[in-house]
Chains A and B, each alone.
Chain A
Amino acid sequence: MKKQDFLAIPKNALKNETNAAKLTFLIVFGLCFVLTIIMAMITNGVTFSVKFFGTGRFSDTFMDFMNSIRDSSQVNMYRTRWTIYPPLAALFFRFIGGMMSQNSVHISFSGRKELLIDPIAMLIFMLFAILCVYLIFKMLDYRMQSEKKCLLAKLCAFCLAFSYPVVYCLERGNITIFCVITAMFFVFFRNSNNKFIRELALIALAISAGLKFYPAIFGLILLAEKKFFAAFRCIIYGLICFFGPIIIINAMDTAILSSPSSNNEYFENNATSISYMVSRLIKNLINTVKNKAAISNYSYVSIQQIFMLAPIKKLLQGYDIPKICSLAIIISEVIAGVGFFITKEEWKRVFLLIYIILNIPIASSVYALSFIIIPFAIYLYEKRSFKSADWFSLLLMSILTSFIPIFTTLDPKSIQLLPEVFGNTIDICPQKLIAAIVFQTLFFTVMISSISSLTEKIIEIRKQRKQRREV
């Protein structure tokens, strides 16, 4: 048997459509990345920094991680800090805070950036970031090379592990990246031949939901596949991941408050009871949803971002735009839900679930687009015949994951990119400006192709029935 040359790109790569798709993605990603680095070198890294959180607020790097540690280490955090972290995430951050000095953990809001020079905080974050990237790469590589070892698949896995949304997520230090990893594990390994791995996949989904709530929607895959008992087990694991940590945190808070040196203000209000903590968490979530309903900058991908575009705003002058946004969100969510049940292609199903998550304003940050690497990986390794809609989807997903270069050497605060389209925003990162447009376009492409596939199937079934009747 001829040994496969590992370094060779398949000779007939363009004839094999899956390999052609991988090659196309690699070319787009590679080109964008190289140009980004060149422009970054010319501008001393400025055009790289503006890709992330805010223009000019460069020093907020990793602060989601550090702020979470500060907030979760407080007693009765749902009351004192109005946090919305699910209990599992809070416990995770509290555990990390346990390895840091008291001064660092209880530092004031104004002094929070001192955590960036705290050696333990940065060492832990560094190891956390490396572990996350490694796990993403490992899982993507394993899945993409499920049939044949191929350099293209390895390179795709590598590029996706270092894609823009993943890097952005790490730059924020947001725990969403860990949700992506656990959700990915569930999606890739839920049908494994190994019983133990299958069970681990269910636990992974429960952990993902325990960290951020919304990945619980991936459980619909189990329902669609009629694995009701597995779904039931997953719900049990999810409840354990919610109530288990809350009991532990409650116990820790009680122990701290009952010590002689503590401040008993919250103890008197019975503030450490589990029911109080749960009710406070729900209250905080509702308040956050209300506050995030009106978003006014280009760092989100929800459908309501479309209504921020200058031409659309002009068109809808005189109408109640917030109400139209809410209606648009509801309608698109319903369409996505229906689309999930009618489509048969796995990558489209997973994408539609991610769309349901990311279309909700509270969860629609650009860095949450790191979830897109899951359906993209499935898309790249699934063997099928490619239609024109599939190639268009490939292009859109490549744009969402690549580092689009910024061609300017001017001070970013002094310029505006296409104000006639994007209004007066000082954000010049193309990714952030067009993320919502590309994401929503991808959604419509997927829906249209799903509906057309369904229509084709219905027509074919009718034809077959007619033929049988004639026979």
Chain B
Amino acid sequence: MSSTKTKLPHRALSRQKIQEEQQDKMLFAFIMFFMFNLIASIGIAIMSRGESVTASIFGISNGKEHFMHMFDNIREYNQAKIYSYASKIYPPLATVFYRLYGLLLNNELVYADESGRYLMQKDQRAMMIYIFFASVVIILLTRLFERQIKHIKSRTVVKLITFSIVVSFPILHCICTGNIAILALLFSLCFIIYRKSENAKLRELSYLSLAVAVGLQIYPIVFILLLISEDRAKFKFSRTIIYCIVILLVPFLLFVLFENPNNVGIAIKNSLIAFLNLFKVGSKGLNFDSISITNIVYMPIVRRLINQKMFMASVALFSSEFLAIVLFFLSKSHWRKVFLLTYLFINIPGISNQSILSFILPVFVLFACDVKNREKSDWIFFILFATILSPIPVWWYFYADKLTVWANHNGFPFEASINKVCGSLLFQLMFILVVIVEIVAIVYRCKKAAQNTYYEISYINDIDNMQNEVTV
């Protein structure tokens, strides 16, 4: 078999070069924008003596909530019989994690009431274990992201992009609030990267990783749909489902059977009710922490135009979810498929928050590496990604008092963080753009298919005519 390289035709070469140049410009612009925002944020943090940072992440009036998501969950998940009486979803592997964490702490901290909520912030072991946990997760995330973007030629660009990803606003939000979503992100990323690996062991590990991510937060289960378009899809799909069921059910049943064996049915019922409640549209008004499409109906201009807000929010939610799942099956672009799956769970009102927006990072990395399909219109996506991920300086912090009065006068809370204010709008805008791009791509594919069919039919007709002429 000949091993000579086939040269690409000149047109293809120049197109490839143009795409690579576009790619380099986009990455450069992203890095510049990100670094500018980061430095400006640090500058404003110095000017405001750090208050702009705490206001940005925790809100203006919630000063001392650092790492409390983790510590509150340790107290909550260590209560006895949580599956029997609670009406909230407690992912089983998360329960294992928090209980193991609780085993390493004093009982007075773990079983403290509301008044003792902040004791863990001063506790040596609680803080040391959290630092250890955060360090390990960040190291592994960095390794995985680097592995994913190693196709980029410049090592400096790879390092800067990895740095930007790890210091992005969603990741910082996860670390600062102590949200375990970052651990689910890590395992989901393992699955997204290694599910197509040539190494059989790595592929198996990737399916297990997805199962672990599902055990920690349930919603990463949507990524299993990525296996549908692969070779031996049934086999891979069924194996992954089995892993997910084992990792979900075994700890769940162990907890329920050991703590309250008579209430297995009630525990299952409560969990299902809690799952359905996640899709319930709230009536509490605007919540800048949420990224869901339901939040938009409560935004200042929109809410004046809509009377039945809850109904419209529900309609928007279910139609966007339906559209996302349909387009996922029709899409041919890898990064858009992953985005649509990510959209499916980030859009759910009961789950949606700034920490979960960290799941946009694998999408960004896939998009950044998709050089072959680079178009000029991708600049819009790059701008959106850059704005969502960069820690935008809170320049309006110095006018917080006046803005709070104005916001309260107009019936919504003042939010210091520009990332949070813009987050849901930009994320939904990205979804709309992806929908438009996909519809255009589908129309174009249909047209091309129709043309090919026309040419085939006309070609067959021509041959028939020629044959007939010959016969005659």
Contact = CB atoms under 8 A, between A and B. Distances in A.
23 contacts: A3-B198, A37-B104, A44-B103, A44-B104, A52-B124, A58-B123, A61-B124, A61-B127, A99-B45, A99-B53, A116-B127, A117-B64, A119-B54, A120-B51, A120-B54, A123-B176, A126-B130, A126-B176, A133-B135, A134-B138, A137-B139, A167-B132, A171-B128
A59 B121 CA distance: 11
B67 A122 contact: yes
A59 B124 contact: yes
Contact of A48 (B42, B104, B121, B202): B104
Interface in B49-71: 49-51, 53-54, 58, 63-67
Given A116-B121, A119-B66, A137-B139, A45 B53 contact: no
Contact of A119 (B63, B106, B131): B63
Interface in A39-77: 40-41, 44-45, 48-49, 52, 58-59, 61-62
A117 B122 contact: yes
Contacts of A61: 124, 127-128
Contacts of B78: none
Given A6-B199, A45-B104, A119-B54, A129 B49 contact: no
Given A7-B201, A99-B49, A119-B58, A45 B131 contact: no
Interface string B80-114: 00000000000000000000100111110000000
Nearest to A52: B124
A116 B135 contact: no
Contact of B53 (A48, A123, A158): A123
| 10 interchain residue pairs of minimum CB distance | A120-B50, A61-B124, A45-B104, A133-B135, A45-B125, A41-B103, A119-B66, A58-B124, A99-B50, A119-B54
B46 interface: yes
B134 A130 contact: yes
A126 B105 CA distance: 19
A116 B122 contact: yes
B143 to A, nearest CB: 9
A158 to B, nearest CB: 8
B223 interface: no
B50 A130 contact: no
B128 A130 contact: no
A119 B134 contact: no
B132 A162 contact: yes
B346 interface: no
A101 B128 contact: no
Interface in A122-166: 122-123, 126-127, 129-130, 133-134, 137, 158, 161-162
Given A122-B67, A167-B128, A44 B51 contact: no
Interface residues of B, number: 43
Interface string B324-347: 000000000000000000000000
B412 interface: no
Contact of A129 (B54, B66, B135): B135
Contacts of A129: 131, 135
A5 B199 CA distance: 8
A170 interface: yes
Best-surrounded residue of B50, B58, B107 (most CB of chain A within 10 A): B50
A62 B127 contact: yes
Nearest to A157: B139
A102 interface: yes
Given A3-B198, A7-B202, 16 more contacts: A7-B201, A37-B104, A62-B127, A98-B46, A99-B50, A101-B49, A101-B50, A116-B127, A117-B64, A119-B66, A120-B53, A122-B121, A130-B134, A134-B142, A161-B139, A167-B128
Nearest to B118: A117
Given A119-B66, A129-B131, A130-B138, A41 B104 contact: yes
Contacts of A437: none
Given A61-B127, A126-B175, A130-B138, A45 B105 contact: yes
A113 interface: yes
Interface string A18-48: 0000000000000000000100110011001
A236 to B, nearest CB: 27
A170 B58 contact: no
Most buried by A among B51, B128, B198: B128
A231 interface: no
Nearest to B121: A117
A216 interface: no
A contact patch SS: helix
B124 A7 contact: no
Contact of B106 (A45, A98, A133, A161): A45
Nearest to A62: B127
A7 B201 CA distance: 8
A176 to B, nearest CB: 16
Contacts of B134: 126, 130
Nearest to B103: A41
A40 B198 CA distance: 40
Interface of B: 42, 45-46, 49-51, 53-54, 58, 63-67, 100, 103-107, 118, 121-125, 127-128, 130-132, 134-136, 138-139, 142, 175-176, 198-199, 201-202
A155 to B, nearest CB: 13
Given A117-B64, A123-B66, A44 B124 contact: no
B276 to A, nearest CB: 36
Nearest to A116: B122
A222 interface: no
A221 interface: no
A170 B131 contact: yes
B41 to A, nearest CB: 11
A306 interface: no
Interface string A169-202: 0110000000000000000000000000000000
Given A99-B49, A101-B49, A122 B66 contact: yes
A48 to B, nearest CB: 6
A48 B125 contact: yes
B131 A126 contact: yes
A6 B200 CA distance: 11
A100 interface: yes
B351 to A, nearest CB: 25
Contacts of B130: 126
A41 B105 CA distance: 8
Contacts of A101: 49-51
For A3, A6, A129, the residue with the greatest tally of chain B CB atoms inside 10 Å of its CB is A129
Contacts of B107: 44
Nearest to B176: A123
Contacts of A48: 104, 125, 128
A99 B125 CA distance: 26
A134 B135 contact: yes
B56 to A, nearest CB: 11
Contacts of A40: 103-104
With a 10 A CB-CB cut-off, give which of A99, A134, A158 has the most chain B CB atoms: A99
Contacts of B142: 134
Contacts of B42: 99
Contacts of B50: 99-101, 119-120
Contacts of A52: 124
Contacts of A130: 131, 134-135, 138, 175
Given A6-B199, A98-B46, A100-B49, A113 B122 contact: yes
A113 B124 CA distance: 12
A100 B139 CA distance: 27
B122 A59 contact: yes
Residue from A102, A117, A162 having most chain B Cβ neighbours under 10 A: A117
Contacts of B54: 119-120, 123
Contacts of B176: 123, 126
A413 to B, nearest CB: 15
Contacts of B45: 99, 120
Nearest to B51: A101
A55 to B, nearest CB: 12
A48 B105 CA distance: 10
Contacts of A5: 199, 201
